[in-house]
């Protein structure tokens, strides 16, 4: 075929290896004017692409270079997620991107990512052992290898919920790419997924909670007041460890929850709570007042014993030297105390469900319980309320004040 340009085609021209190319001047998303090229084996093929490119240029900005999925996710995390979202959210997103999205889809061009690509990646991710995928076992010393490196796969596959979370992160990033006019559709959003089944949790009964607190109090555990706040008021771990004395008014009998302490990217961060619903001023039952009075005396004694080694801070719960308590160490202390009290081992976070069950059995109105538990939606509170199955349990939980606020909890001794 002759290399002569057709009438009005202007910028279509012969290219290497008997192919053709064309360009259109476009406005890029950053406001600059650049040439955008299209290529094809025949003039007709290039002409169709050229017409389509002209139409896109008339609609708005057109990207001249399309990044890969990995390149865009790196940019999105750095420029969008990190400045605008909570540090813990950024850490979770970065982990899912690094462990799942980049290895599975990172090399794909952003505008070429298809629904099939995302679906096939999800299927592979749920079937692939994480040790094998990351080479974890191979990085261990020879004497410690016990899995893939010795031909004995542990089959440590991610849960469906984890893969769905990674897909949700990708969907969020692609939505932002659409607002930047880099792509025209969200491939991750078009994939239909089955929700992961939630694991059923069995929170402590009131008798188990009473046994646990009595054991902690009897052993003079310095974290006993923290356990009281966790069980009676439903405090989260970060909220307990981030509590400051300026947030506690023992005379008025109230406490303000507004900040949390978390380990993020190898450093402790004292920041505001995740949502506005999590911030609240709550009334203090007498058992909480007594426990916090006990904590104040214990901390004063610890300060005196530490002397010059004491680190000044306003935290209610600290180590023997005044430094903040490491969140993971708080979990370890809770598990150890549970074992010593001979009660069922549950997750620390599950104590919030115990609190909800106590409130439900005491016939506290769901809207009031929602404020105490600081749930963002009433549906979450009502789900917690389903953990009180029988009248016998209700009668036991109505004795909360008597069981948890008895003489053994009101002693003023320092642990």
CB neighbour list of residue 44: distance below 8 Å, 6 or more residues apart: none
Percent of the chain with pLDDT over 70: 84
The answer to whether position 295 is within a domain reads yes
Distance CA 280, CA 376 (A): 12
Per-residue pLDDT reduced to its tens digit, 138-152: 777 777 777 777 777
Confidence of residue 358 (pLDDT cuts 50, 70, 90): low
Domain check: are 295 and 393 in the same one?
A: yes
Confidence of residue 115 (pLDDT cuts 50, 70, 90): very high
Distance CA 246, CA 228 (A): 19
Quote the tokens at residue 33.
């004017």
Contact by Cβ (8 Å): 373, 236: no
The answer to whether position 289 is within a domain reads yes
**pLDDT value for 415:** 38
Q: In the block, which residue shows the tokens 């009668």? A: 395
CB neighbour list of residue 311: distance below 8 Å, 6 or more residues apart: 318, 321, 322, 323
Domain check: are 51 and 143 in the same one?
A: no
Q: At what angle do helices 69-76 and 160-179 cross, to 10 degrees?
A: 80
Contact by Cβ (8 Å): 397, 358: yes
Return the DSSP state at 409: G
Domain check: are 218 and 94 in the same one?
A: no
Inform me whether the pLDDT recorded for 186 exceeds 90.
yes
Per-residue pLDDT reduced to its tens digit, 271-321: 887 666 567 788 777 778 888 999 999 999 999 999 999 999 899 999 999
Quote the tokens at residue 135.
């080479």
The answer to whether position 155 is within a domain reads yes
Domain extent at residue 21 = 12-59
The answer to whether position 359 is within a domain reads yes
Positions of E strands within 105-258: 248-249, 254-257
Total of domains in the chain: 3
Q: What is the mean pLDDT of residues 317-342?
A: 94
The answer to whether position 196 is within a domain reads no
Positions of E strands within 200-339: 248-249, 254-257, 259-264, 267-272, 280-283
The answer to whether position 3 is within a domain reads no
More confident residue, 370 or 243: 243
CATH of the domain at 362: 1.10.443.10
The answer to whether position 144 is within a domain reads yes
**pLDDT value for 205:** 81
Domain check: are 133 and 212 in the same one?
A: no
Domain check: are 364 and 231 in the same one?
A: yes
Domain check: are 44 and 85 in the same one?
A: no
Contact by Cβ (8 Å): 330, 319: no
Distance CA 24, CA 56 (A): 10
The answer to whether position 374 is within a domain reads yes
Beta bridge partners of 324: 318
Inform me whether the pLDDT recorded for 397 exceeds 50.
no
Domain check: are 234 and 365 in the same one?
A: yes
Count each helix (H run) and each strand (E run) in the chain, helices first: 19, 8
Inform me whether the pLDDT recorded for 181 exceeds 80.
no
Per-residue pLDDT reduced to its tens digit, 65-114: 778 999 999 999 999 999 988 888 999 999 999 999 999 999 999 988 99
- The top-scoring range by mean pLDDT among 93-97, 177-181, 252-256 is 93-97
Domain check: are 149 and 253 in the same one?
A: no
Domain check: are 49 and 84 in the same one?
A: no
- pTM score: 0.67
């Amino acid at each position: 075929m002759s290399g002569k340009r057709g009438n009005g085609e202007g910028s279509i021209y012969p290219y290497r290896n008997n192919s053709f190319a064309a360009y259109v001047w476009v406005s890029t998303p950053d406001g600059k004017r650049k040439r955008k090229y299209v290529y094809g084996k025949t003039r007709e093929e290039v002409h169709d692409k050229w017409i389509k490119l002209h139409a896109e240029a008339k609609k708005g900005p057109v990207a001249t270079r399309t990044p890969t999925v990995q390149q865009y996710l790196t940019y999105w995390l750095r420029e969008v997620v990190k400045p605008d979202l909570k540090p813990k959210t950024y850490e979770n997103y970065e982990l899912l991107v690094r462990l799942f999205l980049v290895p599975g889809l990172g090399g794909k061009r952003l505008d070429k990512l298809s629904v099939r690509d995302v679906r096939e990646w999800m299927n592979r991710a749920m079937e692939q052992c994480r040790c094998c995928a990351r080479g974890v076992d191979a990085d261990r010393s020879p004497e410690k290898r016990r899995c893939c490196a010795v031909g004995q796969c542990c089959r440590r596959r991610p849960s469906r919920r984890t893969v769905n979370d990674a897909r949700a992160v990708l969907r969020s990033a692609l939505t932002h790419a659409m607002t930047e006019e880099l792509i025209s559709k969200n491939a991750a959003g078009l994939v239909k997924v089955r929700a992961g089944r939630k694991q059923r949790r069995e929170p402590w009964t009131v008798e188990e909670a009473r046994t646990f607190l009595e054991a902690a109090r009897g052993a003079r555990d310095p974290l006993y007041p923290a356990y009281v706040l966790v069980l009676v008021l439903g405090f989260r771990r970060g909220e307990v460890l981030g509590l400051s004395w300026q947030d506690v008014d023992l005379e008025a009998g109230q406490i303000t929850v507004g900040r949390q302490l978390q380990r993020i990217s190898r450093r402790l961060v004292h920041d505001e709570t995740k949502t506005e619903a999590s911030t609240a001023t709550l009334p203090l039952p007498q058992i909480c007042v007594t426990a916090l009075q006990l904590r104040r005396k214990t901390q004063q004694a610890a300060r005196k014993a530490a002397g010059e080694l004491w680190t000044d801070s306003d935290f209610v719960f600290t180590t023997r030297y005044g430094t903040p308590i490491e969140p993971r160490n708080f979990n370890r202390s809770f598990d150890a105390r549970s074992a010593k009290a001979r009660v069922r081992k549950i997750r620390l976070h599950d104590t919030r469900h115990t609190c909800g069950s106590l409130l439900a059995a005491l016939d506290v109105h769901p809207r009031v319980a929602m404020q105490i538990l600081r749930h963002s939606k009433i549906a979450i509170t009502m789900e917690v309320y389903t953990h009180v199955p029988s009248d016998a349990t209700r009668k036991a939980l109505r004795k909360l004040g008597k069981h948890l606020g008895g003489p053994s909890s009101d002693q003023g001794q320092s642990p």
